């Protein structure tokens, strides 16, 4: 039945690890991963809990297809309450550890309480024990990987851990697995560190099986792989250029957030684009991109493995940073690049390396640096505040120095760890923080892509592109092209994307498959693997149920409809160039229709009918 | 008239030697040139001319046999691409 049927409950206060059966009734309603773990969190914690208190819980969770032969079936998620947003957090990662947890025999690991001293969880199939992490505390993600491999004399041990930023309380710390994949957003790493939990080190050798219909599962996954291979996006575009192919697309259409979202086009975009990553550099003739990389079971392989110019000021005479490692994805390249006005691809790659090395969300980091630069240029921040740093837009040196300080939580880096909302509030200009519900924007200006205005404002984890990626339709024409500048039909589009994505995120699959797969391609794979009747209709109903459950959690945590909004800059300051010239984000036109479609009251709350229909 | 042609991603190999995708090149075209005829002229297989922007605005497939250009237009083309 693809689920292992087992949950590992780790009580960090007591130092105990206990197995318990998975709630199979919930599995039928919430599928797995994002949905099922959120159900556990909702049932077991008070939504008003302080995210960094021992009473908050953190769940590492797989989906039913994690660890199987389904393409991209290696995903895992971390579900908790976010210290950045005080809303639900669910951060999804690839790499290999998700499949390893599953192969060790576990659907999810629930961490509760707080250890009195630093520990890590060692998990080898059914053997689970908390071990001292005194020697790991204060170490980077990369050093922690190396030490744990040596300590356990097992180079195949899969590791997910926090770096120094999380230990210093940085509110957007990530949990990094397999050196450079990350559950990146919303500060899930901060929660992990608050529990004195440094790492999960996992070894699973049991494999994943127990499918409802093994032969049909093999056929369904084979067919799915053929669809991915034959599709021009997943078969050719993503492996060759990665997500970074979007840099020039979004810039040409005037939707590129630039210099803290003051502008919508960046004159240096071509220097930091996917195409630029292929160009040989002068110093050693090598391009930035060394090769592409794949996560467990993935037949797309969009990952970027890069090197930095060995003569670049960031790495000269520092051989440890001259090796190939996880390179720029579009979101990092935008946030650290166009939004700070920096067009130095090596500086951006170095900053990305540091995000991996010490576990930081590059989107929030880049947006916080951008906000700090605007605070500085408008005189709200001074050299006295920054420890002598001059924070000008376009300064690669400032970007690099701030990233280094933030990664280890020293000097002004400690304040950078607050994120842009708290930083801008502290220095007296909250309107300069480009956030929704405390989380910073990703790489699509909603003045030029109107559906994203609604997707951002209503995202359950704050501004995010991965809760409802209408860019796919509005820009890329997948599955059908819609006009990015109109608000007509966008409430329906956003809801459809949000519900479908919630289902995919609960399956153990990567959402990038949906550039080629529809739900009709996904449902047969889940149905062949899992007990129950998993049709497209049921998956969309599960997705809608999950979305509403997350919404309800946020409302009970204290969020209101007033939080479904956008920064003043995006609602009041029109785009100055490009096809969207003269446009603002027309959120107010779309929001009432969206609430109605969702079955919510005008105050954004679930009606009794909606609760009843979805079984909430 | 003259317009600027930009070819991105895998289509950049169709650019003249040494031309960067974002710079593109100037092309003299007839007044009655349409997007689809231009795609053919540039030797781009039509299924690979997925995303076509004229001055940043998408040209719908149903308009690609009829839309006309103006002097100094920027014509940018991508194969099917996606990211996130």
Structure tokens at A175: 């949990």
pLDDT of residue A512: 97
**DSSP class of A550:** H
> Which chain A residues touch B59 with a CB distance below 8 Å?
none
* A248 and A186 inside one domain: no
Q: Is residue A225 part of a domain?
A: no
Contact (Cβ atoms closer than 8 angstroms) between residue A189 and residue A359: yes
| CB nearest A233 (choices: B55, B76, B81) | B81
**DSSP class of A439:** E
Listed in order, strand segments (DSSP E) in A38-126 are 58-62, 76-81, 88-93, 108-112, 119-124
Cβ-Cβ contacts under 8 Å for A241 (sequence gap 6 or more): A274, A275, A277, A278, B9, B10, B81
What letters, b where the CB count within 10 A reaches 16 and e where it falls short, cover A88-104? Answer: bbbbbbbbbbbbbbbbb
| CB nearest B81 (choices: A245, A253, A578) | A245
pLDDT of residue A579: 96
Mean pLDDT of A596-609: 98
Give the model confidence (pLDDT) of A377-397 as tens digits.
999 999 999 999 999 999 999
Give the model confidence (pLDDT) of A278-302 as tens digits.
999 999 999 999 999 999 999 999 9
Query: Residue A152 CB: number of other CB atoms within 10 A?
Result: 16
CATH 3.10.180.10 correct for B2-78: no
Q: Is residue A28 part of a domain?
A: yes
ipTM for this prediction: 0.97
Cα B79 off chain centre by: 11
Cα B44 off chain centre by: 9
* A280 and A191 inside one domain: no
Confidence band of A40 (pLDDT split at 50, 70, 90): very high
Nearest partner of A2 among A60, A67, A61, A59, judged by Cα: A67
* A53 and A13 inside one domain: yes
* A341 and A399 inside one domain: yes
For chain B, give the mean pLDDT: 96
Asked if B76 reaches chain A (Cβ–Cβ under 8 Å), the answer is: yes
Nearest partner of A326 among A395, A277, A370, A271, judged by Cα: A277
* A427 and A450 inside one domain: no
Q: Which domain holds residue A369?
A: 243-252+258-433
pLDDT of residue A209: 85
pLDDT > 70 fraction of chain A, expressed in percent and rounded:
100
Q: Is residue A289 part of a domain?
A: yes
Please indicate whether, in this complex, the C-beta atoms of A237 and B58 are within 8 angstroms of each other: no
Domain ranges in chain B are 2-78
CATH of the domain at A366: 1.10.569.10
Give the model confidence (pLDDT) of A463-507 as tens digits.
999 999 999 999 999 999 999 999 999 999 999 999 999 999 999
Please indicate whether, in this complex, the C-beta atoms of A240 and B78 are within 8 angstroms of each other: no
Mean pLDDT of A255-267: 98
Please report where in the chains the tokens 């280094």 appear, as a residue. A404
Structure tokens at A594: 């969206």
| CB nearest B79 (choices: A237, A465, A481) | A237
Nearest partner of A567 among A413, A371, A373, judged by Cα: A371
Contact (Cβ atoms closer than 8 angstroms) between residue A66 and residue A98: yes
* A404 and A264 inside one domain: yes
Cβ-Cβ contacts under 8 Å for A393 (sequence gap 6 or more): A259, A260, A340, A341, A370, A373, A374, A377
| Domain-ending residue, one of A433, A454, A480 | A433
* A397 and A307 inside one domain: yes
Give the model confidence (pLDDT) of A171-201 as tens digits.
999 999 999 999 999 999 999 999 999 999 9
**Residue A210: pLDDT over 90:** no
**How many A-B residue pairs are in contact by the CB < 8 A criterion?**
97
* A169 and A279 inside one domain: no
In whole angstroms, how far apart are CA A362 and each of A182, A353, A503, A605, B52? 10, 10, 26, 32, 31
Asked if A254 reaches chain B (Cβ–Cβ under 8 Å), the answer is: yes
Burial label for A492, CB within 10 Å (0-12, 13-18, 19+), is middle
Mean pLDDT of A418-446: 98
Confidence band of A247 (pLDDT split at 50, 70, 90): very high
Mean pLDDT of A248-259: 97
Contact (Cβ atoms closer than 8 angstroms) between residue A530 and residue A510: no
For chain A, give the mean pLDDT: 97
Q: Which residues are registered as beta bridge partners of A81? A: A88
* A36 and A78 inside one domain: yes
Q: Is residue A127 part of a domain?
A: yes
| CB nearest A466 (choices: B20, B80, B84) | B84
CATH of the domain at A509: 1.10.599.10
Please indicate whether, in this complex, the C-beta atoms of A253 and B58 are within 8 angstroms of each other: yes
Q: Is residue A303 part of a domain?
A: yes
* A154 and A24 inside one domain: yes
CATH of the domain at A16: 3.60.9.10
Cβ-Cβ contacts under 8 Å for A445 (sequence gap 6 or more): A254, A255, A256, A257, A261, A264, A570, A575, A580
* A603 and A577 inside one domain: yes
Cα dihedral A260, A262, A267, A269, rounded to 10, equals: 40
Q: Is residue A233 part of a domain?
A: no
Cα A590 off chain centre by: 26
| Domain-ending residue, one of A403, A433, A463 | A433
- Number of domains forming the structure of chain A: 3
Pairing type for strands A76-81 and A16-21 reads unpaired
pLDDT of residue A176: 98
* A92 and A158 inside one domain: yes
Nearest partner of A44 among A84, A79, A85, judged by Cα: A79
pLDDT of residue A327: 97
Mean pLDDT of A406-427: 98
> Which chain A residues touch B6 with a CB distance below 8 Å?
252
Cis peptide, bond prior to residue A479, ω within 30 of zero: yes
pLDDT of residue A268: 98
Distance CA A467, CA A458 (A): 9
Give the model confidence (pLDDT) of A112-133 as tens digits.
999 999 999 999 999 999 999 9
Helical segments of A31-88, H only: 33-44
Query: Residue A611 CB: number of other CB atoms within 10 A?
Result: 13
Which residue ranges in chain B fall short of pLDDT 70?
none
């Amino acid at each position: 039945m693809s689920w292992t049927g087992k949950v590992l409950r780790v009580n960090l206060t007591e130092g105990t690890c206990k197995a318990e059966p998975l709630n199979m009734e919930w599995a039928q309603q919430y599928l797995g991963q994002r949905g099922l773990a959120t159900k556990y969190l909702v049932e077991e914690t008070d939504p008003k809990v302080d995210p960094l208190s021992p009473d908050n819980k953190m769940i590492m969770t797989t989906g039913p297809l994690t660890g199987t032969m389904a393409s991209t079936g290696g995903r895992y998620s971390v579900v908790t309450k976010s210290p950045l947003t005080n809303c639900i957090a669910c951060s999804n990662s690839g790499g290999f550890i998700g499949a390893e947890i599953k192969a060790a025999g576990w659907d999810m690991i629930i961490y509760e309480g707080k250890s009195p001293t630093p520990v890590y969880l060692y998990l080898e199939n059914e053997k689970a024990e908390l071990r001292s992490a005194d020697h790991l505390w204060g170490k980077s993600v990369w050093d922690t990987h190396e030490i744990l491999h040596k300590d356990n004399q097992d180079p195949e041990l899969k590791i997910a851990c926090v770096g120094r930023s999380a230990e210093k309380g940085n509110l957007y710390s990530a949990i990094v697995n397999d050196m450079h994949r990350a559950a990146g957003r919303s500060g899930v790493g901060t929660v992990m560190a608050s529990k004195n939990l440094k790492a999960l080190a996992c070894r699973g050798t049991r494999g994943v099986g127990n499918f409802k219909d093994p032969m049909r599962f093999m056929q369904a996954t084979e067919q799915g792989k053929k669809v991915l291979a034959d599709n021009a996006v997943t078969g050719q575009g993503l492996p060759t250029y990665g997500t970074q192919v979007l840099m020039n697309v979004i810039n040409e259409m005037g939707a590129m957030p630039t210099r803290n979202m003051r502008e919508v086009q960046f004159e240096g975009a071509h220097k930091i684009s996917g195409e630029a990553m292929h160009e040989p550099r002068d110093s050693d003739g090598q391009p930035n991109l060394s090769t592409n990389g794949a996560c467990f079971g993935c037949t797309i392989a969009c990952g970027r493995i890069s090197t930095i110019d060995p003569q670049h000021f960031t790495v000269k005479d520092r051989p440890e940073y001259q090796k190939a490692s996880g390179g720029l994805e579009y979101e990092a390249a935008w946030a650290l690049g166009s939004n700070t006005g920096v067009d130095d691809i090596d500086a951006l790659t170095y900053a990305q390396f540091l995000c991996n090395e010490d576990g930081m969300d590059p989107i929030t980091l880049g947006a916080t640096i951008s906000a700090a630069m605007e605070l500085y240029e408008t005189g709200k921040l001074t050299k006295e505040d920054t420890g002598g740093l001059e924070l000008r837009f376009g300064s690669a040196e400032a970007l690099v120095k701030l990233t280094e300080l933030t990664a280890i939580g020293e000097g002004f880096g400690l304040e950078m760890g607050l994120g842009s909302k708290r930083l801008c509030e502290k220095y007296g200009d909250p309107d300069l923080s480009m956030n929704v519900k405390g989380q910073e924007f990703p790489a699509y200006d909603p003045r030029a892509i109107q559906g994203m205005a609604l997707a951002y404002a209503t995202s359950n984890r704050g501004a995010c592109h991965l809760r409802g990626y209408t860019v796919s339709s509005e820009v890329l024409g997948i599955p059908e092209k819609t006009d990015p500048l109109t608000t007509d039909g966008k409430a329906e589009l956003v809801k459809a994307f949000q519900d479908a994505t919630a289902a995919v995120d609960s399956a153990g699959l990567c959402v990038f498959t949906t550039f080629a797969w529809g739900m009709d391609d996904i449902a047969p794979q889940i149905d062949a693997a899992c007990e129950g009747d998993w049709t497209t209709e049921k998956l969309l109903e599960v997705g809608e149920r999950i979305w509403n459950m997350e919404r309800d959690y946020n409302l009970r945590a204290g969020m209101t409809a007033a939080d479904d909004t956008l920064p003043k800059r995006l609602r009041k300051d029109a785009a100055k160039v490009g096809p969207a010239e003269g446009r603002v984000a027309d959120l107010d036109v779309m929001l009432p229709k969206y609430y109605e479609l969702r079955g919510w009251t005008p105050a954004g709350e679930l009606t009794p009918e909606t609760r009843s229909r979805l079984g909430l | 008239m003259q317009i600027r042609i930009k070819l991105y991603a895998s289509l950049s190999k169709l650019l003249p030697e040494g031309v960067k995708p974002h710079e593109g090149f100037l092309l003299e075209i007839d007044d009655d040139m349409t997007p689809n005829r231009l795609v053919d002229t540039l030797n781009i297989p039509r299924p690979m001319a997925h995303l076509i922007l004229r001055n940043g605005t998408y040209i719908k497939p149903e308009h690609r046999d009829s839309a006309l250009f103006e002097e100094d237009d920027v014509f940018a083309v991508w194969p099917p691409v996606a990211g996130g």
